[in-house]
Amino acid sequence: MENMAAANCPDTEFVAELRVATDRYLAAVDAWATAYRKYYRLAGPARKVSGDLQEPEKVYAATRKRLAALAPRARGLCFKHGLKDPWTGLRCARRSASTRRRTAPSRRSRGWSGSR
């Protein structure tokens, strides 16, 4: 239902919704990374999410799914206004936070430096 609302709203409302979804996604990535760093972990072949990461994993998956649903229209708006497409990385990161091979976008790569 939310996807249909996003598809039918004016561009300004869509961009506001996209900003909220992006902020939630990045916060979920940060929360997952913080929970992950809480304990020393060894990389292994197991794809099972440990108990302490289940809630951050669930939030990450939900926020990523919402942002991925908004990405096609966001990509179209980028092309419409001659902006570089920042959404390709979201397409590539289809695995969950704990099972992906690539790391999450760091704060530095998102334009943040130092502490908040």
Tokens 């794809």, located at residue: 47
65 domain-assigned: yes
pLDDT along the chain (116 residues), means of 10: 62 93 95 84 69 89 93 90 80 50 57 51
**Helices 54-80 & 11-37 angle (0-180, nearest 10):** 150
Structural domain includes residue 111: no
In-domain check, residue 106: no
Q: Which amino acid is at 81?
A: H
Asked if residue 103 belongs to a domain, the reply is no
Q: Provide the pLDDT for residue 38.
A: 82
The domain total for the chain is: 1
Does residue 104 fall inside a structural domain? no
Q: Where do the H-state alpha helices sit in the chain?
A: 2-8, 11-37, 54-80, 88-92
In a domain, 11, yes or no: yes
Is the residue at 68 inside a domain?
yes
pLDDT confidence of residue 94 = 47
Does residue 109 belong to any structural domain of this protein? Answer: no
Q: Which domain holds residue 10?
A: 2-92
pTM over cut 0.75: no
